Amino acid sequence: MSAKLYDAHCHYHHSPVVEQWDTVGAIAIDCGLTHAIINGTEPSDWNATIAWAKQHPFAIPAVGLHPWYLGGVQPGFQYILSDLLDSGQVMLGEIGLDRCRPKAELEQQDRLFIEQLKLANEKDVVTTIHCVRAVGRLYEFFHDFSPPTAGFLLHAYSGSTELILSFASQNAYFSCSANTLSRPKANELIRAIPIDRLLIETDAPYMAPPEFNRLYVIQEKVDDRAANHPANLKRGYELAAEHLQIPLPELIQIVEENFLRLFGPYLPQSQ
């Protein structure tokens, strides 16, 4: 029996070969994929995310308004989002802050993030947060507005190591991928994360790892790159174990416990 691996953040339903999921998914499952958090990023994607998860028992849906997709948002989106979260089987995400976006967007970005942050606590749901070059701003928000009390994931965390323990004290978890663990200073970053808050992700089909660290590639393009295959989850675990200098089976067990602690309430009842 293969190891049980958990993907804390991905968008499998965005795959350029999603119609061939029986083939793509079989490879990932053969490599150990057990459960994955599937994230919707804008209103037009939310129902499709939930429907796709219903068709694939390993998938757990999350829906939210990503900071890249604010342009076409209609007033009242939060009421639609609220209704979707009321089922108790859907998480909030991916929401967040991204200071790489044009300055003209940042005021709206902050406002919509706050609206969703309030919704996270109103609904008491686990939340996935995208935060790029904005950890200081996120830290400020969490002084003015309560962070998600049900717990939250800072996915692909690449911010200050000095703020990690502060976020962890507010019930944050942190996920790394084969892509992020191949970057400079990855060793310093992952070692700063409390071991009981570490998760592994792929962000597939986006953020493919470098060629020399890549096990599988979907032979089509996403944003002019080869699409990240879900089976690269395994490589993320391997790199994390190498950085932390612990046996791979030990890391797999730790990550499983962390994943179930944060996301366990959303797993199918039979789990």
Extents of the domains making up the chain: 5-266
Find the mean pLDDT for residues 97-108: 85
Find the mean pLDDT for residues 120-141: 95
Find the mean pLDDT for residues 215-236: 88
pLDDT > 70? residue 136: yes
Question: In the prediction, which pLDDT does 223 show?
Answer: 77
Q: pLDDT for 1-56, tens place per residue?
A: 478 999 999 999 999 888 888 899 999 999 999 999 999 999 999 999 999 999 99
Q: Name the more confident of 133 and 62.
A: 62
Question: In the prediction, which pLDDT does 100 show?
Answer: 79
Q: What is the DSSP letter of 171?
A: T
Angle at 83 between CA 135 and CA 79, to 5 degrees: 70
Question: In the prediction, which pLDDT does 269 show?
Answer: 66
- For the beta carbon of residue 196, count every other beta carbon within 10 angstroms: 11
Tell me the β-bridge partners of 92. 63, 127
**pTM, to two decimals:** 0.96
Of the spans 25-29, 76-80, 85-89, 98-102, which averages the highest pLDDT?
25-29
Q: Which helix (H) or strand (E) holds 95?
A: strand 91-98
- CB burial class (10 A; 0-12, 13-18, 19+) of residue 168? middle
21: phi then psi, degrees, rounded to nearest 5: -60, -30
In Å, how far are 70, 72, 119, 135, 140 from 77, measured between CA atoms?
Answer: 11, 11, 12, 26, 25
Q: Is 153 left (phi over 0), alpha (psi -120 to 50) or beta?
A: beta
Confidence class for position 93, pLDDT limits 50, 70, 90: very high
Please report where in the chains the tokens 């339903």 appear, as a residue: 13
Pairing of strands 172-176, 152-155: parallel
Is residue 25 a contact partner of residue 54, using CB atoms and an 8 Å limit? no
- For the beta carbon of residue 215, count every other beta carbon within 10 angstroms: 15
User: Mutual orientation of helices 135-144 and 106-123 as an angle, nearest 10°?
Assistant: 50
CA distance 102 to 157: 21
pLDDT > 90? residue 209: yes
Find the mean pLDDT for residues 248-256: 98
Find the mean pLDDT for residues 205-227: 87
Q: pLDDT for 57-70, tens place per residue?
A: 999 999 999 999 98
Identify the CA nearest to 101 among candidates 131, 74, 123, 124.
Answer: 131
Find the mean pLDDT for residues 140-166: 94
Is residue 94 a contact partner of residue 87, using CB atoms and an 8 Å limit? no
- What is 5-266's CATH number? 3.20.20.140
225: phi then psi, degrees, rounded to nearest 5: -125, 160
CA distance 69 to 142: 23
Find the mean pLDDT for residues 221-247: 93
CA distance 233 to 49: 20
Question: In the prediction, which pLDDT does 270 show?
Answer: 43
